[in-house]
């Protein structure tokens, strides 16, 4: 596994990159989408909560993402493994230091910190904590391609949407 913050040798339009994306897509569309958004830097870090085969980890690394598997526990005490990926070593370290070997929790503080790492606008995170899934002005399609629930009249989400749309469309085509 490479620990270097890569220079991005692979261009997203290159056949090689598209090939890796297609393979990720075969494992899971959402995994490939998160990988793409994180590779592009739209999300500083992403978390995959389902089990991931070694091939998946390898593919993420091939597209210049740093990966780490983090042990957590759920309420029952059962251990779960999360996979996190990022282009930024500091984000990986922050996540590991904050959440490694800790129980999964949904406190406001946790949601705010996760929001920061996952690239969610703070206005949306805070609104969601107060009132989850409150109506907003997005279309169903726009809301569907996001990982955060946009706040009403959000000033940040509309500026993020084109980048999300590009990544989603590219993935659907590849």
Q: Interface residues with Zn ion (CB under 5 A)? A: 121, 123-124, 151, 154
What is the spatial distance between Cα 14 and Cα 118, in angstroms, rounded to a whole number?
26
CB of 91 to Zn ion, least distance (A): 21
143 Cβ partners below 8 Å, 6+ apart? Answer: 136, 149, 150
Q: Exposed (0-12), middle (13-18) or buried (19+): which is 42, by Cβ within 10 Å?
A: middle
CB of 66 to Zn ion, least distance (A): 28
Residue nearest Zn ion, Cβ-based: 154
What is the spatial distance between Cα 80 and Cα 150, in angstroms, rounded to a whole number?
29
Closest among 84, 58, 73 to 1, alpha carbons compared:
58
Residue number with CB closer to Zn ion (85 or 120): 120
Residue number with CB closer to Zn ion (48 or 149): 149
Dihedral Cα 17, 68, 29, 143, nearest 10 deg: -110
Residue number with CB closer to Zn ion (7 or 133): 133
Closest among 87, 60, 66, 63 to 11, alpha carbons compared:
63
Residue number with CB closer to Zn ion (129 or 174): 129
CB of 124 to Zn ion, least distance (A): 4
* Structure-token pair, residue 82: 């999360």
Residue number with CB closer to Zn ion (34 or 154): 154
> Is 143:163 a contact under the CB 8 Å cutoff?
no
CB of 136 to Zn ion, least distance (A): 8
CB of 111 to Zn ion, least distance (A): 14
């Amino acid at each position: 596994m490479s620990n270097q913050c890569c220079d991005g040798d692979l261009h997203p339009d290159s056949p090689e990159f598209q090939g890796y994306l297609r393979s990720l897509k075969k494992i899971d569309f959402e995994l490939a989408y998160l990988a793409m958004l994180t590779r592009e830097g739209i999300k500083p870090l992403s978390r995959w909560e389902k089990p991931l085969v070694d091939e998946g980890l390898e593919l993420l690394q091939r597209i210049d993402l740093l990966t780490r598997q983090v042990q957590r526990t759920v309420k029952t005490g059962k251990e779960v493994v999360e996979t996190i990926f990022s282009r930024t070593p500091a984000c990986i370290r922050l996540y590991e230091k904050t959440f490694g070997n800790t129980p999964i929790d949904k406190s406001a503080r946790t949601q705010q910190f996760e929001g920061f790492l996952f690239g969610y606008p703070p206005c949306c995170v805070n609104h969601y904590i107060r009132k989850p899934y409150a109506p907003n002005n997005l279309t169903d399609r726009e809301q569907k391609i996001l990982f955060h629930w946009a706040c009403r009249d959000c000033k940040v989400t509309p500026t993020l949407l084109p980048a999300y749309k590009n990544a989603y469309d590219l993935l659907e085509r590849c």
